[in-house]
Amino acid sequence: MIKETAKTLGHFLLLKVLFNPLGLIVLGSVGLVLIIPFVMALNGKDKSFNLEDPNSNINALSGFVGGAYCSVDGEINEELWNAKMSTSGVFSDKGDLFIEIASKQGIDPVLMAAIALHETTNGTSSAVIKKNNPGGLMGPDGLMTFSTLDEGLEAMGQTLHNRIIQDGLITIADLGSVYAPVGAKNDPTNLNSHWVPNITTFVSTLGGLTMNCTVQTGDFVQPVPNVTINSNFGVRVHPVTGAISKHEGVDLACSNPDPIYAAKGGRVVFAEYPEAPLHTYGNIVVIQHENNVYSAYAHLSSISVEVGQEVRQLEVIGACGTTGRSTGDHLHFEIHVGSMFKNRVNPMTYLSQEAKE
């Protein structure tokens, strides 16, 4: 009797769903919820990625772009590497060990070091000093403890190997989704949103990645990696005023607090939130290069440099934002020729094309 009642009720509900528009919408929504993550997971990896033989993925990863810039020659920048490591607390004499472990695990030593520096506040946190835990490694009982720092670094290298080589978490953003998932219940103040930009900044400080990154091929480089242009140089309808006006730069997609990089080395000649009539730029940095060419970076949420400072190409100068007259997070990028804020030209003729390594 119970079985027959359940069967009849099941038929009734099925008919209600299939022949009721609201029911079809609910059914479709459930289907999308189930299908979309599966499709995204399939599209997140290259067709050559092999889940059954993870160790074969080391070569397959060479075609991916990791969301950060490569070092100039694809090798570790020894000057920047040594300068940073020498002032990094307990890691001050571990530079060679980072390289050795990363090489053994088939991962980028710069990426490994950047994560360790972030997770331990430049090698000074209590976790790395008291527990020899260099990477926020967690076990069943919480933060793991290692007998030596070398042992902790070996464990971190193995963990990154598993995440990058086995799981295919290629980019810094991919790794961030595991190390510091945005919106996690244990992160009520949303500190995790800073993980990806902070790691990217450490990578820049160390001289750039040596694997799975964006290679630059010209004199001026793009101030954000893997750039998407939201608005080109030229005449347009202004998104705030609605008036037809000349857009004297390009708007590049980014999100607060993504790091913004110097497109070329030079001297900082402007770094502030200006008064009218330049106030529409919001926080803006201008760098003077040779031959009186200037690059300008506007709407920044914060500024990391000061006037008179010499900056190298790809040094972090600030963070993406929406200060000034802006409708949302992006970088407004300009090139001035001859003098600052005078003759603005199309920046895209100066920016190099990116290539994948």
* 197 and 123 in a common domain: yes
Range of the structural domain that residue 154 is part of:
54-216
Residue 138 · residue 144 · CB < 8 Å: yes
* 335 and 247 in a common domain: yes
* 178 and 287 in a common domain: no
* 348 and 201 in a common domain: no
Distance of alpha carbon 207 from alpha carbon 169, whole angstroms = 22
Q: Let me know if residue 224 belongs to a domain.
A: no
- CATH of residue 260: 2.70.70.10
Q: Using DSSP, state whether 27 is helix, strand or coil.
A: helix
- CATH of residue 89: 1.10.530
* 146 and 248 in a common domain: no
Give the phi and the psi of residue 209 in degrees, each rounded to 5.
Answer: -70, 160
Give the chain's mean pLDDT.
80
Number of domains in the chain: 3
C-alpha closest to that of 325 among 279, 357, 284, 292: 279
* 118 and 24 in a common domain: no
Distance of alpha carbon 336 from alpha carbon 347, whole angstroms = 9
Using alpha carbons only, how large is the chain's radius of gyration in Å?
25
Q: In this predicted model, what pLDDT tens digit does every residue of 262-318 receive, in sequence order?
A: 999 999 999 999 999 999 999 999 999 998 999 999 999 999 999 999 999 889 999
* 114 and 23 in a common domain: no
What is the mean pLDDT of the segment spanning 168-188?
Answer: 83
Single pTM value for the model: 0.60
Query: Can you tell me which residue has the tokens 């080391």?
Result: 58
pLDDT score, position 50: 47
Q: In this predicted model, what pLDDT tens digit does every residue of 58-107 receive, in sequence order?
A: 444 433 444 567 776 778 989 889 999 999 999 999 999 999 999 999 99
Residue 318 · residue 302 · CB < 8 Å: yes
* 204 and 67 in a common domain: yes
* 84 and 34 in a common domain: no
* 193 and 272 in a common domain: no
Q: Let me know if residue 223 belongs to a domain.
A: no
* 201 and 76 in a common domain: yes
